[in-house]
């Protein structure tokens, strides 16, 4: 994989471009994709953002979101766009497999694939150009770096800043996580100096849900939360019936795994949800517990050091028992605060 800086001198040559991200895109995935879409469109490229799946309704406010195509609902059209593309930008995922049913189309296209991502262990052999930097707060920060590095900050619009800011607050927990480095705050200062109004973005991301989600959260915290104070660990398990009862939509469980970290002494929080196809895991930690290695070793996943995910074909009950069993192997890491 060649350095992404080698693309800078090619940006003024008009191309057919596809931008894609991981399935069920979060604010960072959608924000980085749309910011790059606005940037490349201004440079004269023909650009289309394709999401591998649907996305949370609270992202629909983002400038340009209405132009995004859902691959699962428009497979033939998307396959044509992918095959006709000159460049395919792959944002906020480290392996092609994270695009679900799009994976085969991405593997077979003759287009040049370009990676911009901050997850561990990237599939570098799949990309001709790219940048993978785990020290970065978010892919949105990396897209900002790409724009700045290209020397075209004159093209940084309010629409782009809204998208980038949304992704940064999503992946830094509104600047709470260690990844909110000095460069992140410098970027936000640049946005504010250019007139960005940030309050409305927080409202759209965090204050834009239906009543059922809040009743669901109350139910989960009361009936589905288990605490192991010996191991400073919290586990939340969510059944399919829970999802149906409260009529949850895509994105309604976003952030749920973080709630137990607010309990004094909790060092690791785990969430498992019984989805239609698989059981989906999320892991969050404080301090020196490596969620990425834990998820890769036991639950077919991975991600960041303090935030990772996984999946399993086994039943909800089997996964819960597996977690309770394997977590005992990490007693020495977890029992000391």
- pLDDT at position 336 over 80: no
Residue that is last in its domain, among 206, 234, 258: 206
In this structure, are strands 112-117 and 129-132 parallel, antiparallel, or unpaired? parallel
User: Which strand ranges, in their side-by-side order, compose the sheet holding 279-285?
Assistant: 225-228, 233-238, 268-274, 279-285, 307-312, 302-303
- pLDDT at position 149 over 80: yes
- pLDDT at position 179 over 80: yes
Tokens linked to 268: 């690791």
Q: Greater confidence, 91 or 121?
A: 91
Pair (41, 127) in one structural domain: yes
Pair (247, 183) in one structural domain: no
CATH number of the domain that residue 20 is part of:
3.90.1640.10
- Is 93 in contact with 117 (CB distance < 8 Å)? yes
- Is 184 in contact with 223 (CB distance < 8 Å)? no
- At residue 65, φ and ψ (nearest 5 deg) are -60, -30
pLDDT of residue 215: 96
- pLDDT at position 337 over 70: no
- pLDDT at position 276 over 80: no
pLDDT of residue 164: 98
Pair (117, 95) in one structural domain: yes
Pair (219, 308) in one structural domain: yes
Confidence of residue 335 (pLDDT cuts 50, 70, 90): confident
Q: How long a stretch of residues is the chain?
A: 337
Tokens linked to 336: 């000391």
pLDDT of residue 185: 97
pLDDT tens track for 31-61: 999 999 999 999 999 999 999 999 999 999 9
pLDDT exceeding 90 applies to what percent of the chain? 90
- Is 30 in contact with 57 (CB distance < 8 Å)? no
pLDDT tens track for 69-78: 999 999 999 9
Domain count, the chain: 2
pLDDT tens track for 20-37: 999 999 999 999 999 999
Closest CA to 98 of 121, 82, 79: 121
Largest CA distance in the chain: 60
Closest CA to 301 of 319, 318, 315, 317: 319
CA distance 129 to 193: 32
Residue that is last in its domain, among 184, 206, 228: 206
First vs last C-alpha separation in the chain: 40
- Work out whether the CA dihedral 138, 1, 88, 38 comes out positive or negative: positive
- pLDDT at position 145 over 70: yes
Pair (218, 200) in one structural domain: no
pLDDT of residue 11: 96
CATH number of the domain that residue 304 is part of:
3.10.310.30
Pair (199, 315) in one structural domain: no
State the pTM of this model: 0.88
- pLDDT at position 177 over 90: no
pLDDT tens track for 258-273: 999 999 999 999 999 9
Rounded (10°) angle between helices 182-193 and 158-172: 150
Query: Lowest-confidence range among 32-46, 231-245, 323-337?
Result: 323-337
Pair (159, 62) in one structural domain: yes
In whole numbers, what is the pLDDT of the chain averaged over residues? 95
Cβ count within 10 A of residue 208: 15
Three-state secondary-structure class, residue 226: strand
pLDDT of residue 183: 96
Pair (39, 148) in one structural domain: yes
Pair (91, 198) in one structural domain: yes
Long-range contacts, stretch 317-321, CB < 8 angstroms, 24+ apart: 319/272, 319/279, 319/281, 320/235, 320/237, 320/272
- Is 26 in contact with 254 (CB distance < 8 Å)? yes
Helix-, strand-, coil-residue percentages of the chain, each rounded to 5? 45, 20, 35
Pair (183, 49) in one structural domain: yes
CA distance 240 to 211: 19
CA distances from 70 to 65, 251, 284 (A): 11, 15, 29
Pair (49, 180) in one structural domain: yes
Confidence of residue 250 (pLDDT cuts 50, 70, 90): confident
pLDDT of residue 294: 96
Which domain, by its residues, includes 167? Answer: 2-206
CA distance 92 to 139: 6
Element (H, E) at 334: helix 331-334
Pair (133, 38) in one structural domain: yes
Tokens 């201004």 identify what position? Answer: 42
């Amino acid at each position: 994989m060649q350095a992404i800086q080698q693309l800078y001198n090619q940006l003024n040559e008009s191309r057919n471009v596809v931008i894609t991200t991981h399935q069920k895109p979060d604010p960072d995935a959608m924000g980085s994709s749309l910011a790059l879409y606005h940037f490349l469109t201004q440079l004269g490229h023909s650009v289309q953002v394709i999401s591998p799946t649907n996305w949370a309704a609270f992202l629909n406010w983002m400038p340009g979101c209405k132009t995004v195509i859902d691959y699962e609902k428009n497979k033939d059209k998307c396959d044509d766009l992918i095959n006709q593309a000159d460049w395919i930008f792959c944002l906020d995922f480290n392996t092609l497999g994270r695009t679900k049913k799009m994976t085969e189309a991405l593997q077979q296209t003759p287009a040049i694939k370009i990676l911009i991502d901050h997850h561990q262990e990237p599939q570098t052999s799949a990309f001709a150009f790219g940048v993978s930097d785990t020290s970065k707060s978010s892919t949105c920060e990396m897209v900002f770096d790409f724009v700045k590095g290209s020397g075209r900050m004159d093209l940084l619009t309010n629409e782009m800043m809204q998208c980038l800011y949304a992704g940064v607050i999503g992946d830094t927990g509104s600047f709470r996580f260690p990844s909110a480095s000095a460069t992140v705050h410098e970027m936000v200062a640049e946005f504010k100096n250019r007139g960005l109004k940030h309050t409305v973005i927080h409202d759209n991301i965090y204050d834009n849900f239906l009543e059922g989600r809040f009743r669901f959260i109350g139910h989960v915290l009361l009936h589905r939360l288990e605490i192991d104070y010996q191991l400073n660990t919290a586990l939340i398990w969510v059944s399919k019936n829970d999802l149906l009862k409260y009529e949850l939509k895509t994105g309604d469980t976003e952030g749920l795994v973080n709630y137990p970290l607010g309990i004094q002494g909790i060092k690791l929080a785990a969430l498992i949800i019984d989805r239609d196809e698989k059981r989906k895991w999320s892991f969050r930690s404080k301090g020196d517990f490596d969620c990425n290695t834990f998820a890769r070793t036991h639950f077919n996943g991975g991600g960041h050091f303090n935030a990772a995910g996984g999946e399993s074909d086994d039943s909800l009950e089997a996964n819960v028992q597996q977690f309770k069993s394997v977590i005992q192997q990490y007693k020495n890491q977890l029992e000391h605060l």
